[in-house]
Amino acid sequence: MILEKVSEFMEKRKPIFEDWKHTFYLWRKTKLATVGTIIVLIFVVVAIIGPLFVPYDPIVQNMKDRLQPPSFQHFFGTDQFGRDIFSRVISGAMIEVEIIIIVSMISGGIGLILGVLAGYFGGVVDEVLMRTTDMFLAFPGLILAMAFAAMLGPSLINTIIAISLVGWTVFARLARAEAMKVKNQPYIESIKALGAGKTRIISLHVTPMCISPVLVQLTLRMGTVILTAASLGFLGLGVRPPLPEWGAMVSDGRSFLVEQWWISTFPGIAIAIVVLGFNLLGDGLRDIMDPRLRR
Amino acid sequence: MNDVLLEVKNLRVVFHTYRGIVQALDDVSFTIHRNERVGIIGETGCGKSVTSLAIMRLIEPPGEIVNGEIIFEGKDLVKLNENSLNTIRGKEISMIFQEPLSSLNPVMKVGFQIGESISKVKNISIKASQKFVRDALKAVDLDPERVVNLYPSELSGGMAQRVMISMALSTNPKLMIADEPTSALDVTIQAQIMNLLDELVSKMKNTVILITHDLGVAAQFCDKILIMYAGTIVEFAETKELFENPLHPYTKGLLKAIPKVGNKNKIVGIPGSVPDLVNPPRGCRFHPRCPFAMEICKIEKPTLKTESQDHLVSCHLYR
Amino acid sequence: MKLGNYIIKRSLLMLLVMFGVVAIVFAIVHVIPADPVGALLGGNAPPAVVDRMKEQLGLNKPLFIQFIDYIWGVIHGNLGNSIQSGRPVVQDIMEYFPVTLQLSIVAIFISIILGIFLGIFSAVYRNKWIDHFSRIFSILGVSMPVFWTGLILLLVFYYILGWLPGTGQLSLFVIPPERITGMILVDSLLTGNWEAFWNGLRHIILPAAVLGYAATASIARITRASMLDVLTQDYIRTAKAKGMSKKVVIYRHALKNALIPVVTIIGLTFGGLLEGAVLTETVFGLPGLGRYIVNALLNLDYPAIMGGTLFIALIYSLVNLSVDLIYAMLDPRMRA
């Protein structure tokens, strides 16, 4: 009985399953995407459980242990305040995860809502939104983010706001394009004929269709988000010490670079590996999505 | 006349896809003699184009030649490396394709593209080859002065196929493979192109493999016809013999499916459809659609056997 | 004719966008609450001094009037005076921008050449180890933080190996060339100052390499995709059937067709270069526009922030406009 239901369900959705199967096959065949996925998973796991296992407090200063080179006591050495760099790098992962998640929610959310409204209503609303995105896209992203961050004042929350304010345009354009496609589908016509209101159509039928392209794009841009946050931190416009943000940590070690190379080196390697993971995953995703390469 | 030019033995070609391994050619063997014109006929996906690409060694990943020999003038093409192959491609064996317009490079002038072939064979510069290019274009009834300087986007389909033919024959190859040369063209142009091909090949005495799904075209042009079904050869005979005395049930079905002027009887198709080559039927690949299928057809794969003088068939009905 | 209409339409659109850009820049600086006068004078300045400062900077007028004043100034090429340098912002930009321009030009050459070759190798050896290697290599470039790569290269090539000079545009003992374009390499060539040219070239290698390498990935990626697309085309099969060698097929038959879409990405790449320039200039101590903006931001030098950001947006938009127009001219459908 249940088995029958299941097989009926599977039969009805066969094209979808076939498509998933194909996507999974392509993902497995795209070795770089697999490597990227593994790096990202390790990063997330480290961010979540890492702080429970770090050997030293990442914030508290310990002047008698300052500027120690890497050793068995301090894998990555210590900085000018005697803090263990290994512990700081591990704790810093959570800050990057926080930034990624909140930025994605804010910029993805704003983009999705504005994009869907513009795409659905068209006309003046659409024109205004499109020109606004043009204006935001006229700036190189980091430079606009720098201006926002500096004016808001350097802090973790302001870094997040600044990056979100710069990033939403891409998602708005995507959601708009998708909403325009969806609103002309026959099933929307028939729902209208049944008397559904605008709010209901937009929230229950149009928006859900626009979510998946926005999600994919969010994944593609996570590497850039980390780099932007780290750059702001490095320039002194983002997350401020003593919080262990990786970019700010690289900046901390600048004046000690020649004699105590480890202070700047290890946080930089952490950024490079994590961003590489996201970018490999993103590159693979783009391959999988590209109809020209999807053979 | 009976001198062998090309011998294909036990050729197997597969394509690796996400659904599994597609068995595009399964144990294909045939022989072509000098100056023969052989037509390879079958439905879309039966492996006729794959056969021709395999002879040119142009099967590329995800496709792969897994077994067999392709012996051309005593050399096994399957074993040759790229460099040796490039001394054969274009010079000894040349090929024309189904879509003439997309088969020409859009950013190069016609004269340059033909000259490239000639210059390689004659070992001269492309510039020095231009006078031969003009001869080659004249041979296919195009105005050389005008056409050499055109880009492919400025040609019509018929003109483009003439250019392709002139390019393929300008090096006077021993074997020419024409892969559905007319199926992308208008009916009136089709006849012109086939007549042109006939005329040129008669003059130059090239051996030709013509790949087509059009029995009528093949009947007029070819000395011999080879019928393929789902990656296997089902029948191979001289044209007249094949039309007068078809042996394989599939061939019989094909001949019945040709509409004839004045014939009021309903056209009879072959029931069923082409099998999925990821999981081809066991035994004879045609048995699920065959009106004469027997128990043995489901179990054992028939081999290609000589049934009468120069008439080969692969079917359990003939022992 | 179609092309003419397109150019006019795109240019008008750009004017509108630039107006919006001015509005955004103005809003960032004036609407987001921060206290420029406080930053300038320190927190404890007496109210009378603060008021006088506000009046000097025009900050006491209503916001709308300030905006109109600013727009009026922009139209007349007046971006106000920098609080820090006291000079007109336009003059500052003219002094700092050539450094950024020179750096970007060298970097974009590096990234185009590197990107196209990596892309070709990747496509030709698709899914082989060469492809994996060249993709990882190019993606690593965009993944490593530019400021960190710069520091590490300085550490290795200057401090440890001593093969290349350190920060700055020229070594202290070198007499700089007379200022003509503001770009050291160009000026030293024009004045025949070979010592300065050689020294400047050695100084620009590291920052340009860092910047160019970071911008390589997107060019390599689109070259690869476009090349893969072209390599499956019928005319490539024809070329192979003609017995053309692999080299001829790739470089004569495929490359020309594959490079057309690559043009489109160069505009975006330039945006990435401007972002990267902010960081490389900071790390390598180059007196470019990027560092000018960073300094302005750190010191809340409002006119300099607005002017600098505005100028960067203008340059970026102009580059994108010209790339679009070039692409339109390359596209045969637009030519007809």
- Phi, psi of B171, deg, nearest 5: -100, 10
Compute the average pLDDT of residues A140-145: 93
- Chain C within 8 Å of A230 (Cβ-Cβ)? yes
Sheet strand arrangement including B232-238: B93-96, B175-179, B207-212, B37-41, B224-229, B232-238, B311-313, B305-308
Q: Among B215, B255, B233, B206, which residue's Cα sits nearest to residue B46?
A: B233
User: Does A243 reach chain C within 8 Å, measured CB to CB?
Assistant: no
Confidence of residue C332 (pLDDT cuts 50, 70, 90): low
Residues of C in contact with B175 (CB under 8 A): none
> Do the Cβ atoms of C145 and A247 come within 8 Å?
yes
- Neighbouring residues of B62: CB distance < 8 A, sequence distance ≥ 6: B15, B16, B17
Residue A133: DSSP 8-state: H
At residue A106, the pLDDT reads 96
Which of B86, B103, B117 lies nearest to residue C234, judging by beta carbons?
B103
- CATH number of the domain that residue A282 is part of: 1.10.3720.10
- All residues of chain A having their beta carbon less than 8 Å from the beta carbon of residue B18 are 21-22, 25-26
Q: Are C25 and A283 inside 8 Å of each other by CB?
A: no
Give Cα separations from A164 to A109, A161, A222, C61 (angstroms). Answer: 10, 5, 12, 31
Residue B87, phi then psi, degrees to nearest 5 = -85, -15
C147 pLDDT band, cuts 50/70/90, is very high
- pLDDT the model gives residue C126: 85
Q: Which residues in chain C touch residue B104, judged by CB atoms under 8 angstroms apart?
A: 235, 238
Question: CA-to-CA distance for B33 and C200, rounded, in angstroms?
Answer: 72
B85-124: b or e for each residue (b if 16 or more CB lie within 10 Å)? Answer: bbebbbbbbbbbbbbbbbbbbeebbbbbbbbbbbbbbeee
More confident residue, A26 or C80: C80
Which of chain C's residues have a Cβ under 8 Å away from the Cβ of A43?
none
| pLDDT per position as a tens digit, A171-214 | 999 999 999 988 888 888 888 888 888 888 888 888 888 888 89
Q: How far is residue A34's CA from residue A26's CA, in Å, rounded to a whole number? A: 10
Q: Indicate the average pLDDT of chain A.
A: 88
Assign C243 to helix, strand or coil.
coil
pLDDT, one tens digit per residue, over B46-84 is: 888 899 999 999 988 888 999 999 999 988 999 999 899
What is the side-by-side order of every strand in the sheet holding B75-76?
B20-33, B4-17, B63-72, B75-76
pLDDT category at A1 given cuts 50, 70, 90 is low
| Subunit contact B120:C257, Cβ cutoff 8 A | no
Q: Chain C interface, mutation test: which of B95, B103, B110, B126, most C Cβ atoms within 10 Å?
A: B103
pLDDT greater than 60 at residue A294 = no
DSSP state, residue C176: P
Nearest to C241 among B95, B106, B120 (CB): B95
- Asked, for residue A145, whether it belongs to a domain, the answer is yes
Question: Which of 224-243 (C) contact B at CB < 8 A?
Answer: 233-235, 237-243
Q: Do C25 and A147 touch (CB under 8 A)?
A: yes
- How many CB atoms within 10 Å of residue B82? 11
Percentage of chain B modeled with pLDDT above 70:
97
- Which of B99, B130, B96, B128 is closest to B113 using CA atoms? B130
DSSP secondary structure, C138-175, as one string: HHHHHHS-HHHHHHHHIIIIIIIS--S--SSSS-TTSP
- Region C296-300: mean pLDDT is 89
Helix (H/G/I), strand (E/B), else coil: B45: coil
Residues of A in contact with B60 (CB under 8 A): none
Are residues B82 and C244, on separate chains, in Cβ contact within 8 Å? no
Kindly identify which residue of chain A lies nearest to residue B16, measuring between CA atoms. A295
Cβ distance A264 to C309 less than 8 Å, yes or no, reads: no
How many separate domains does chain A show? 1
Residue A229 counted as domain residue: yes
Residue A251 maps to a domain: yes
- The CA-atom distances, in angstroms, between A283 and each of A35, A42, A171, A228 are 11, 18, 18, 19
pLDDT average, residue stretch B114-121: 90
Nearest to C100 by CA among C184, C217, C5, C187: C184
Neighbours of B125 (CB within 10 A): 10
* Contact yes or no for C235 and B117 at CB 8 A: no
Chain B residues near any Cβ of chain A (below 8 Å): 18
* Nearest CB to C235 within list B85, B105, B117: B105
Q: How far apart are the first and last CA of chain B?
A: 30
DSSP B102-155: TTS-TTS-HHHHHHHHHHHHHT--TTTTHHHHHHHHHHTT--HHHHTT--GGGS
| DSSP-derived secondary structure letter, B248 | S
Residues 6+ apart with CB under 8 A from A157: none
A293 — contact with chain C (CB < 8 Å)? yes
Could you give the 3-state DSSP secondary structure of residue B69?
strand
Specify if A15 maps to a domain. Answer: no
pLDDT of B272 over the 90 cut: no
CA distance C137 to chain B (A): 25
Q: What residues of chain B have any CB closer than 8 angstroms to a CB in chain C?
A: 56, 58, 82-83, 85-91, 94-95, 97, 99, 102-108, 116-117, 120, 153, 164, 167
Contact B105 C253 (CB under 8 A): yes
Task: Please give the mean pLDDT across all residues of chain B.
Answer: 88
Contact A151 C28 (CB under 8 A): yes
What is the CB neighbour count within 10 angstroms for residue C239? 27
Smallest CA–CA distance, residue A154 to chain C, in Å, is 10
> Could you say which of A135, A257, A264 has the minimum Cβ distance to residue C21?
A135
Span B239-247, average pLDDT: 90
Expressed as residue numbers, the domain containing A167 is 31-294
Q: How far is C229 from chain A (nearest CA, A)?
A: 7
Residue C115 confidence (pLDDT) above 90:
yes
Instruction: Tell me the mean pLDDT in the region A89-101.
Output: 94
Q: Residue A261: left (phi > 0), alpha (psi -120 to 50), or beta?
A: alpha
Taking the Cβ of residue A51 and every Cβ of chain C, the question of whether any pair is shorter than 8 Å is answered with: no
Q: Is the pLDDT of residue A3 over 80?
A: no
Q: Which of C235, C243, C257 sits opposite B90 (nearest CB)?
A: C243
Q: Could you report the predicted ipTM of this complex, rounded to two decimals?
A: 0.88
Q: Is pLDDT of C336 > 60?
A: no
> What is the tens place of the pLDDT at every residue in A212-229?
889 989 988 999 999 999
3-class SS of residue B65: strand
Q: Which long-range contacts (CB under 8 A, 24 or more apart) does C165-168 make?
A: C165/C199, C165/C202, C165/C203, C167/C283, C167/C284, C167/C285, C167/C286, C168/C203, C168/C284, C168/C285, C168/C286
Closest-CA distance, C215 to chain B, in angstroms, reads 29
> How much is the pLDDT for C334?
52
Confidence of residue C33 (pLDDT cuts 50, 70, 90): low
Read off the pLDDT of each residue in B197-221 and give the average, rounded to a whole number: 89
- For residue A292, the model assigns a pLDDT of 56
Q: What percent of chain B has pLDDT over 90?
A: 33
Alpha helices in C232-261 (DSSP H): 234-241, 246-247, 255-259
Neighbours of A (≥3 Cβ pairs closer than 8 A)? B, C
H helices within chain B, ranges in order? 48-55, 82-88, 110-122, 130-139, 144-147, 157-169, 187-204, 215-221, 239-244, 249-256, 295-299
CB-CB contact of B138 with B192 (8 Å): no
Within-domain flag for A20: no
| pLDDT score, position C38 | 65
Asked if A135 lies within 8 A of C293 by C-beta distance, the reply is: no
CA of C8 vs chain A CAs: smallest distance (Å): 17
Q: Identify the contact set of chain A against chain B, taking CB-CB distances under 8 A.
A: 21-22, 25-26
Cβ within 8 Å, pair C234-B99? yes
pLDDT per position as a tens digit, A240-276: 888 999 999 999 888 888 889 999 999 999 999 999 9
Tell me, what's the pLDDT at B264?
Answer: 67
The secondary structure of residue A255, as a DSSP letter, is G
Residues paired with C322 in a beta bridge: none
Amino acid (one-letter) located at C196? A
Q: Secondary structure of chain B: what % helix, strand, coil (to 5)?
A: 35, 25, 40
Burial B224-251 (b: 16+ CB within 10 A, else e): bbbbbbbbbbbbbbbbebbbeebbbbbb
Chain C nearest-CA distance from A102, in A, is: 21
Q: Is residue A211 part of a domain?
A: yes
**Inside any domain, residue A66:** yes
Question: Minimal Cα distance from A23: which residue of B?
Answer: B18
User: B94 to chain C, minimum CA–CA distance in Å?
Assistant: 7
Of all helices (H) and strands (E), which one includes residue A292? none
Min Cα–Cα distance to chain B from C238, Å: 6
Confidence of residue C95 (pLDDT cuts 50, 70, 90): very high
Chains that touch C (3 or more CB pairs under 8 A): A, B
Q: Which residues of C touch B82 (CB under 8 A)?
A: 245-246
CA of C256: which chain B residue's CA is closest?
Answer: B107
A258 touches chain C (CB under 8 A): yes
pLDDT band (50, 70, 90) for residue C309: very high
**Is it the case that residue C54 has pLDDT exceeding 80?**
no
- pLDDT score recorded for residue B45: 80
Note whether residue A22 is domain-resident. Answer: no
Residue B1: band (very low, low, confident or very high) from pLDDT cuts 50, 70, 90: very low
Instruction: Please indicate whether, in this complex, the C-beta atoms of B105 and C239 are within 8 angstroms of each other.
Output: yes
What is the DSSP code string of A78-106? Answer: B-TT--BHHHHHHHHHHHHHHHHHHHHHH
Q: Cβ–Cβ of C235/B94 closer than 8 Å?
A: no
| Residue in C260, C264, C267 with CA at minimum distance from that of residue C230 | C260
Our measurement of the distance from residue A117's CA atom to the centroid of its chain's CA atoms, rounded to an integer in Å, reads 24
Find, among A151, A179, A171, A158, the residue nearest to A107 by Cα. A171
Tokens 């004719």 found at: C1
Q: What is the torsional sign of CA C331, C333, C334, C336? A: positive
